[in-house]
Amino acid sequence: MNIPAPIITTIQAPWLNANSLSLDILRLDELHPVVSGNKYFKLKHYLIDAIKQGKNTVATFGGAWSNHILATAYACKEAGLSSIGIIRGERPKNPSTTITLAAQYGMELLFVDRTTYRNKEWIKAGYAREGWYWVEEGGMGNLGVMGSKEILRTISTDKYSHIVVSVGTGTTMAGLITSALPHQFVVGVSSMKANTSLDRNIQQLLIEKVTANWRIFHEYHFGGYGKHPQELIDFINEVFEIYALPLDIIYTGKTFFAIRDLVNKNYFPPQSKILMVHTGGLQGNKSLAPGVLHF
Ligand X SMILES: *Cc1c(COP(=O)(O)O)cnc(C)c1O
Give the interface with ligand X as residue ranges (CB under 6 A).
37-39, 67-68, 138, 166-173, 248, 251-252, 279-281
Min. distance of Cβ 139 from ligand X in angstroms? Answer: 7
Q: Taking CB positions, which residue lies at the least distance from ligand X?
A: 281
Q: What's the min distance (Å) between Cβ of 275 and ligand X? A: 15
Rounded distance between C-alpha atoms, residue 130 and residue 122, angstroms: 17
Q: Does residue 189 contact residue 165 with C-beta atoms inside 8 Å?
A: yes
CB of 199 to ligand X, least distance (A): 13
Q: In the complex with ligand X, which residue's Cβ is closer, 184 or 279?
A: 279
Residue 170 beta carbon to ligand X: minimum distance, rounded to whole angstroms: 5
Tell which residue, 77, 67, 139, 65, has the closest CA to residue 108: 77
Cβ at position 250, least distance to ligand X in Å: 7
H or E element in which residue 102 lies: helix 97-104
Q: Which is nearer to ligand X, 33 or 270 (CB)?
A: 33
Of the pair 19, 199, the CB lying nearest ligand X is at 199
In total, the chain counts a number of residues equal to 295
Determine contact, residues 282/249, Cβ cutoff 8 Å. no
Q: How many CA atoms lie within 13 A of 160 on its CB side?
A: 26
What is the smallest separation between the CB atom of 175 and ligand X, expressed in angstroms?
8
Smallest separation, CB 266 to ligand X (Å): 26
The set of residues, in sequence order, having a beta carbon less than 8 Å from that of 180 and lying 6+ positions away, is: 152, 163, 186, 211, 212, 214
Neighbours of 207 (CB within 10 A): 11
Cα distances (Å, whole numbers) of residue 279 to 2, 95, 120, 165: 17, 24, 25, 7
Q: Could you tell me if 136 and 165 are in contact, meaning their C-beta atoms sit under 8 angstroms apart? A: no
Helices in 149-247 by DSSP H: which ranges?
171-179, 198-205, 230-243
- Between 23 and 139, CB nearer to ligand X: 139
The residue among 31 and 50 lying less far from ligand X, judged by its C-beta, is: 31
Instruction: Using the minimum distance from each CB to ligand X, give the nearer residue, 157 or 279.
Output: 279
Q: In terms of CB distance, is 19 or 150 closer to ligand X?
A: 150
Smallest distance from the beta carbon of 130 to ligand X, in angstroms? Answer: 29
Of 18 and 102, CB closest to ligand X: 102
Pairing type for strands 107-112 and 82-88 reads parallel
Contact 78, 47 (CB under 8 A): no
191 SS3 class: coil
The counts of H helices and E strands in the chain are: 11, 10
